[in-house]
Each structure stands twice: as structure tokens, then as C-alpha cells.
Structure 1
């Protein structure tokens, strides 16, 4: 008998802010403003930044999910995203992959996507998340994962920010998320041609795409990171 298929093998996320608003008994006490290290009973970890006034009645918050590269590296993008979240009052979620990189790069969607879904649900149970202002971003392997997950869950994420991606491999498509891709011209880890090809293909498929190259290597360009985050406000 074949083993049962992983429930997240299709790449689908299930957490939704509008559903949780209808189930009052599933609400939990929020954390205070600040940056929190989250550790769960199964050993999974994440960072959550909560902006000031997050718990004001009726306020719905933007949410940015930021995914690291191989080995847990954000490429300098984490502090930029944190500064943006603090300045503009957004929730910032930074989960850790179970292994050296994200599950799909190690064989298929599964444990990491399940953890991201659980983390989104955990956050939505504590804060009023704006269902029309949720974004997914990543650097390097995290950018490839963000593109893949974001394109499959385009009814959940309005924007995808990909910094130095290597590929995209969505199992299906839904919605029409906007896409921002940035890549360094001197990138020797993932050549700039990869990012350019991804952006060109998505534009040809009808997505709203912004593509930017910069003079640099395999890093997140601070000016382009700020430009990408500024786009989320438009």
C-alpha cells in the first residue's frame, strides 16, 4: 500500500483572516508591540514583529511573510523589512525552515508549508489581519519558494517580492498577485539571467511585474528592497 499523500503536497495554504473573524471562540490574547522570538512545542521557530497600536479596536494590519535563503540567511533584507514594518505598522513574520532550506527544494511541499500555514493561523487568531494586504517575500532559496507558494496562493497574497530567485515551480496558479523581482548583475550564486527569465515569463503570462537589476552580488539591495516595500503601500 502506498503511503498517504502529505496534505500540503498540493502547495495550498488554508489560513484565512475572514474565516477566523466569524469564529470568536478561536481568538487568543495578542502579544504586545515589539519583536518576539516564537518557539513551538515541536521545535519550530519564527520571529514575529508586532507594530505599535496593533491591538487598537477595528484596526486591520498589513502582514508580510519573509522567507530566508539557504542556511537561514536573509541577505540583509530582514532588517529592512523590520524597519518598514515598524514605520508603517505592519505585522512581519519570519519563519525558520525545518532543514537547511525550504521543503520543496528538498523533495516537495510538506512540513515547511504546514508550519507556515500554522504560523499564519496563529497570527490571525491574535490580530486583525487585512485579507487584502498580505504579502510573501524571500531571498535566494526563499525567493524561489515565495514565488512558488505565492503564485499557488494568489487569492491569499496580493504581492510577491523575490530577491535573487533561482526558479519558480508552482503546481498550479490562482489569483493575480503583483510580482517584484530584483537581482544583482554580479550574482555568482544564482546568475542574474535567472531572475530576468522569471520576470519575463510572468510578464508574458499577464502578471503585473516589476523587474530591477542592480550593481552587486548575491545580496538584497537596500534601495530596491525599500522600493519593493513601498510598492506594497500603493
Structure 2
């Protein structure tokens, strides 16, 4: 599971998809069962088959949010796309790099959640995305670029910043922002980040919408079609 990853850097995820699975995985929504207080959710789409590795999206909620907020970003689109959804909850009201200026407990929790999933689900290693909204988008960008040898795609809806510990791999990036966002204003946020991402050598698709601090359904569908052409 950890082949090729020997570092114990707190910013690094060690879990990897496995060829040999343990047990069967039924479809539907369920809690992760990893924490009694702040846990997370897993959604297995209708039609999932263990002999057909499925794409996976890890979805991160905004500040003060929950796994349900993260899951809602793509949940209504998952069945048609055959998409596994994993929505962990931050250990505190927002993600560690944002709250404490350091990676740590949230990376460890996500690594445990991914390890549990990879032991029981057939996941396509060529189609693994991390995405989120608001603080979750900032964390998805930061953690996704740091772990670009695991994540093939990063989806950031209305991010505020990015703080990768390092650049690893070349994940493709989808980023969107509302021009009327009064929470994380577009000019110092996505309009500043987009050129930095391109200069760093990443393949970026950037979209703006005329709206507030939210994820319009058409933007969510665009992101899914970008991640999985032909879906949504």
C-alpha cells in the first residue's frame, strides 16, 4: 500500500489503491466509523462493481461545515458517473493548515480514511480527485499539489489561497469562483492564484460565474465532466 512513499512528513498521504481487496462493499451512503465526534461519509454509487475500478473524489467542506456539506458538492451526480465519494471532516472547525499553519491531524485522518477505502473498494489510480469549497478548496489545492503522486486531479470551488508543502506530480486543476463573492473576494483569491498555478507548470481550467460564495450546479457539472469526460 505504501510502495514508493517512505517519508513520514506530516503533509504526505501514504495510502494507495490496492489490487487485493478485503470483503465486499455495498452501495449507498455510510459513515466512515473512524471517529466518534467528527467523522466523515462514504458514498458508493449504484452499479459499483469490485471487478471494475471506479474513479474517486475526495470532497472537503468549508469552514464550520460537515461531511454532508462536502458530499453535497457532487453527490447528486455520482451514480450516473459511477463515482466513489469520500467526504472526511476536519478535526476542528476548519482544516489544519488553515487553523494552525501546519499540516498534521487532518492529513493523518484522511490517510486513515483512504487506507480503509482502498482496502475495501476497487479504485482507479488514474482517476483520483481531491476537491472542496471555500476553505476546503484552499486545502484541496494545498494537499493536492503536495500529494500529486496520488491525486490526478484537483477541484477548487472558490479557494482563498494555497500552501503546498512541495510540488509533487502534475495533477490537473479545475478552479472556479463567483464574481460577486463577498466572503472570499475573487481578485485577491482565484484571480491571483490562477496565474501562479499556470506559471508553476500545471494544466489549469479556470472558470468564473456571476454569483456569490457558492457552487452553482452548472459549475459542479462542468467540473465533473472535466474530471470524467462524458459524465454529468
- SS of match in other structure, 2:126: strand
**Separation in 2, partners of 1:201, 1:184:** 19
Aligned match of 2:216: 221
**Separation in 1, partners of 2:89, 2:180:** 27
Following TM superposition, by how much is the alpha carbon of 1:204 offset from its aligned partner in structure 2, in angstroms?
A: 1.8
**Residue correspondences, number:** 221
Please report the RMSD computed on the Cα atoms of aligned residues, expressed in angstroms: 2.0
Aligned match of 1:61: 54
Aligned match of 2:152: 158
**Once structures 1 and 2 are overlaid, which stretch shifts more, 97-106 or 31-40?**
31-40
Question: What does 1:144-223 correspond to in 2, within 5 Å?
Answer: 144-193=138-187, 194-223=189-218
Question: What does 1:18-97 correspond to in 2, within 5 Å?
Answer: 20-21=18-19, 24=20, 27-41=21-35, 43-56=37-50, 58-72=51-65, 78-97=71-90
**Separation in 1, partners of 2:121, 2:109:** 18
Ranges in structure 1 where 5+ consecutive residues have no aligned partner: 1-6
TM-score, with structure 1 as normaliser: 0.88
TM-score, with structure 2 as normaliser: 0.89
Aligned match of 1:232: 227
Ranges in structure 2 where 5+ consecutive residues have no aligned partner: 1-7
* Structure 2 contact 128–152 (Cα < 8 Å) conserved: yes
Max Rg structure: 1
Distance 1:190 1:49, change over 3 A: same
- SS of match in other structure, 1:72: coil
Distance 1:141 1:99, change over 3 A: same
- SS of match in other structure, 1:118: helix
Distance 1:117 1:220, change over 3 A: same
**Separation in 1, partners of 2:53, 2:43:** 15
